[in-house]
Structure 1
Amino acid sequence: MILPTPDQIADDARDLAVDTIRTPVLSLTSDRWRGILPDAASVTVKLELFQQAGSFKARGVLLGIRGLDAVQRRVGVVAASGGNHALAVSWAAQAAGVSARIAMPATVDPLRIDGCRAMGAEVTLCDDMPAAFAEMDRVVSQEGRAILHPFDGAHMTLGAAVCGAEYLAQAPHIDTFVIPVGGGGLIGGMGAALKQHNADAQVIGVEPEGADSMTRSLAAGHPVALDRIATIADSLSAPRAMPESFAVAQAVVDRMVHVTDAAMRRAMGQYMDVLRILAEPACAASLAAICGPLRTDLAGRHVGIIACGSNVSVARWQALMAG
């Protein structure tokens, strides 16, 4: 395992600047947050839901597409995803003129399925995320397509590291970062950039109670797979940890916490009530964590959270909020 270096991060940031968005950060100082946020020195959010394709995934996927050789570009790529990665792959592949196959659970928001197809991707619907990963592996063995894994790979780590470095440049005072975790690509890459800037910075991961492969993997000291996934946060529903992303996370994560589906629903409502943001559960996970399990631990800290992406329809959001 080799962490991305500051020079690599800076080079990739320059390469990505033309085609990605420097997403805004917002200091949560409005009086409307009073009684919601913890008693921290400050709380800042980076709004990655405004990124290309609607999530932080765009940077890493774009690096992955650019790293394909001529044969891989001709044959095409395949990915398994609950939605945000699928949309990022569809977007980047279309821009590069590369064929994309996407395996998705049939239960995901139709907005995501339709979005991938609108960008030219061929979508296969599966029973659940483990079945989607199995379909991805089948396509690789039968068609020879290149895998664009949703979180395991140097390109995904580097893309997330660029996001972390960008966040630091926009809000250098932050000393505690609370980051949602699915497979670990985001927290690994962001954590690598953050720790290189400030070795004393805290990097805290957030997983749903019903999809905590990284928490279990870090406790075991090796990647583990889940027998069952039960959470409304389909974007955080990785069925297993993978070696590379696990190793990076193991090197940079200081702590993991769980959030419940109910806590994510509350945070979704708070984003809507205060910022008028239609947040999917994963997008609200960091806010749920600082207002829940971390609430009493953040006094005096300058806290940075991330709204990692939000590809959710109004109908699905309303259904989720109804419980």
Structure 2
Amino acid sequence: MGPTLEDIEQAQAALVGEMVETPVVSLPVSKLPARLADADVTVKLELFQHTNSFKARGAYLGICGLDASARQAGVVAASGGNHALAVAWSAKTASVDALIAMPQATDSMRVEACRALGARVELCADMPAAFALMEGEAANGRFLMHPFEGAHMVLGAATIGAEYVAQASDVDVFVVPVGGGGLISGMSAAIKILKPKATVIGVEPIGADSMKRSFEAGSPQRLERIDTIADSLGSPLAMPLTYGIARANVDEIVHITDDDMRDAMRDYYTALRIVAEPACSASLAAVCGPLKDRLAGRRVGIIACGSNIGLARYREFLGD
């Protein structure tokens, strides 16, 4: 289930010259001697992508694939940050009007960045209200750029998986953050095609674990409440497309806590001088936390999926 190798290769071809081939680097164990597992850990720095997150790939594919009438009508998205920025940037490159619904609690840096890219931003009470606005605008004719439940978003993420395998062919365990499921569904599909024996492990905050609950229930589940500092991973539900692809290709999903992410945010700064938002730190949090002992002796690939965070918010999370 999911994109084929031909689909992924076509998406890669469409992104040549448009996206950054983000680097893969070794995580310096010497700088985190007590934290890292006895494993060879590499990290793909997708936060160096356009708009500082992996979301740019799928958003660009989606907007480039619009027909003339959809371009004329414009697009609408709901997001607390990374997807909003990706849609705003992609729309600007294609001269398409973009409306972005964002929760009022969104980091002001992200809101202003979307406006600077030419998008119209509507602030809503919370994420459910932002989704409601998005769905209403879509019903009135705008093309809905869903933050994860779309073939273009899965394909964008699949290009990351294919790129990672090519850059680090010896990696045998990939640890991937899970929000709505767009990233892990696409990456896992590509990884399992190109390296079938590799293990793919998803990582979810314990307060936003719709995909883990869906795996356990055998069908997409909705959460009544989200409770995590990782707003980029705070999807209130899993959905059929991305759930189905992830279920077919992901070996397991593990929980992390907000404190695990805070520790990993500090680790990224110590090891690579990266200012990581909580979602960006999720893979590393799992490698240093619940997976630490199990990954000893393995070749592990993690992803810094993106980071759009103001310095004030970063310090607030870390209590500095």
Please classify the TM superposition score into its range, dividing by the shorter chain length: over 0.9
Residue 129, structure 1, aligned to residue 127, structure 2 = yes
1:262 maps to what in 2? 259
- What's the Cα RMSD here? 1.0
Determine if contact 2:27/2:42 at 8 Å carries over to the other structure. Answer: yes
Secondary structure of 1:3's counterpart equals coil
Residue 314, structure 1, aligned to residue 311, structure 2 = yes
Q: CA deviation at 1:198?
A: 1.6
Percent sequence identity over aligned pairs: 58
For residue 297 of structure 2, what is the amino acid of its counterpart?
G
Q: CA deviation at 1:239?
A: 1.1
Residue 150, structure 1, aligned to residue 147, structure 2 = yes
Determine if contact 2:29/2:36 at 8 Å carries over to the other structure. Answer: no
1:24 maps to what in 2? 23
Residue 179, structure 1, aligned to residue 176, structure 2 = yes
When normalised by structure 1's length, the TM-score is 0.97
For residue 13 of structure 2, what is the amino acid of its counterpart?
R
For residue 44 of structure 1, what is the amino acid of its counterpart?
T
* Structure 1: distance between partners of 2:290 and 2:29: 23
Matches within 5 A, 1:284-323: 284-322=281-319
1:235-262: per-residue Cα shift (whole Å, max 9, x none)? 0011111111111111111010111111
When normalised by structure 2's length, the TM-score is 0.98
In structure 1, stretches of 5+ residues that fail to align are none
* Structure 2: distance between partners of 1:297 and 1:62: 37
1:106 maps to what in 2? 104
Residue 47, structure 1, aligned to residue 45, structure 2 = yes
For residue 58 of structure 1, what is the amino acid of its counterpart?
A
* Structure 2: distance between partners of 1:274 and 1:34: 10
* Structure 2: distance between partners of 1:43 and 1:306: 10
Q: CA deviation at 1:29?
A: 3.4
1:14 maps to what in 2? 13
Residue 274, structure 1, aligned to residue 302, structure 2 = no
Moved >6 Å (runs of 4+): none
Q: CA deviation at 1:208?
A: 0.5
Secondary structure of 2:293's counterpart equals helix
Determine if contact 2:28/2:271 at 8 Å carries over to the other structure. Answer: no
Moved more, 3-12 or 232-241: 3-12
* Structure 1: distance between partners of 2:46 and 2:295: 23
Moved more, 149-158 or 130-139: 130-139
Determine if contact 1:129/1:237 at 8 Å carries over to the other structure. Answer: no
* Structure 2: distance between partners of 1:273 and 1:34: 11
Determine if contact 2:27/2:271 at 8 Å carries over to the other structure. Answer: no
* Structure 2: distance between partners of 1:173 and 1:64: 32
* Structure 1: distance between partners of 2:127 and 2:174: 28
